[in-house]
Amino acid sequence: MPNLSVRIGKLKLKNPVMVASGTFGYAEEFRDFMDLRKLGAIVTKTITLKPRQGNPPPRTCETPAGMLNSIGLENPGLEVFIKEKLPVLKKTGVPVIVSIASESDPREFITLARRLDKIKAVAAIELNISCPNLQHTKLISQDAKETYNLVSQVRKVTQKILITKLSPNVTNIAPIALAAQNAGSDAVSLINTLTAMSIDVDKRKLKIALGIAGLSGPAIRPVAVRMVWEAAQKIRIPIIGMGGIIDASSALEFILAGATAVSVGTANFINPKVSIEIIEGLKKYLSENKIKDIKILIGSLRI
Ligand SMILES: Cc1cc2nc3c(=O)[nH]c(=O)nc-3n(C[C@H](O)[C@H](O)[C@H](O)COP(=O)(O)O)c2cc1C
């Protein structure tokens, strides 16, 4: 049996396949469809300090080979998450990576991280500094200095494994990934969604109420693979790659480009069991190619 285990900092995952923030809720909706225990890790829907209703509808639509979303971080807030969602997640026995964001004041990241730091069921914290749906003029992850400042401040208040989630809406991803690493991030996740727009020509109206939204799904995969590769040339911390992963082959593209682990997002909406199928597919690929350990493949692409 090939070895699929990987490490994200101190965190050991039995396999490199996780589910991406915002596409798997808090796992409750998925437990009837699949054996959650098989997942490498679960990344929760981003939470904020206070509950949020999110953006007005319509806030999702289909696009060629993908979808647009402008959910706007709808979530029940930190305390309800801890009381009601975390116990269910804990029962799965799978590492729980809690995604957090601030609404307007970046200091909220500190408050959130401080509180989560004390909770054993939290395996890692993912800093979502790349949500394109909050009507901010600029994202923290669009600036290397701001990324460095935010990550280093959070680093001071928590011993938990820190993962920084980056935006593809930048000219050059490598300096931002490097800033996260230099500030003490244990890993980076990339990519979040690409800003995009879609128009209904019959109604001559926007398909998403607020106009600009985030594009995800297979349409963005080549962009995501390119960015993982570019970041991998510059940093030594693990990369969690995502963007349009739908099967083992697409997961392998990311691993060959330099990702230590992968996250499955939009594909969960089409097939809730897809991540389990990807794990099986990775095992098969390794066996067929007589590769004993998936780590041999990480960043093994030579150009
Ligand atoms: C409906 C929807 C909601 C999302 N919500 C979040 C979120 O709350 N936090 C976050 O970091 N990313 C969020 N994302 C981005 C995904 O985690 C992922 O980075 C992105 O969709 C690319 O992967 P994919 O093409 O496999 O979906 C969301 C994506 C979708 C489609």
Q: Maximum distance among all alpha carbons in the chain?
A: 55
State pLDDT tens for residues 139-176.
999 999 999 999 999 999 999 999 999 999 999 999 99
Angle at 13 between CA 12 and CA 16, to 5 degrees: 135
Contacts of 232 (CB under 8 A, 6+ apart): 239, 257, 258, 259, 299
Residue closest to 244 by CA, chosen among 191, 289, 291, 284: 191
Neighbouring C-alpha atoms within 13 Å toward the C-beta of 232: 24
- Residue-level pLDDT at 136: 76
Nearest CA to ligand 1 atom 7: 22
pLDDT at 137: 75
User: Half-sphere exposure of residue 123, counting CA atoms within 13 Å on the CB side?
Assistant: 20
Determine whether the shortest distance from the Cβ of 44 to ligand 1 is under 6 A: no
CA–CA separation, 120 and 107 (whole Å)? 23
pLDDT tens for the chain, 303 residues: list them.
899 999 999 999 999 999 999 999 999 999 888 999 999 999 999 999 999 999 999 999 999 999 999 999 999 999 999 999 999 999 999 999 999 999 989 999 999 999 999 999 999 999 999 999 887 778 999 999 999 999 999 999 999 999 999 999 999 999 999 999 999 999 999 999 999 999 999 999 999 999 999 999 999 999 999 999 999 999 999 999 999 999 999 999 999 999 999 999 999 999 999 999 999 999 999 999 999 999 999 999 998
Q: Reply yes or no on whether 131 is catalytic.
A: yes
pLDDT at 133: 86
Distance CA 187, CA 84 (A): 28
The whole-angstrom separation of Cα 150 and Cα 184 is 10
Report CA(1)–ligand 1 centroid distance (Å). Answer: 32
Contact partners, residue 18, CB within 8 Å, separation at least 6: 39, 40, 41, 42, 43, 97, 240, 261, 262, 263, 264, 275
pLDDT of residue 104: 86
Compute the residue count for the chain. Answer: 303
- Rounded to whole angstroms, the Cα distance separating 280 from 89 reads 23
Q: Is 19 exposed, middle or buried (0-12, 13-18, 19+ CB in 10 A)?
A: buried
Marked catalytic residue, from 20, 27, 100, 131: 131
Q: What is the DSSP string of 54-76?
A: -SPSP-EEEETTEEEE-----B-
- Residue-wise pLDDT for 80-130, tens only, equals 999 999 999 999 999 999 999 999 899 999 999 999 999 999 999 999 999
Which residues does residue 69 pair with via DSSP β-bridges, in sequence order? 60, 214
Mutate to test the pocket of ligand 1, among 17, 19, 21, 63 (most ligand atoms within 8 A of CB): 21
- How far is it, in rounded angstroms, from Cα 193 to Cα 38? 26
In angstroms, the Cα distances linking 79 to 29, 75, 154, 175 are 20, 11, 19, 35
With CA atoms as reference, report the closest residue to 260 among 171, 179, 163.
163
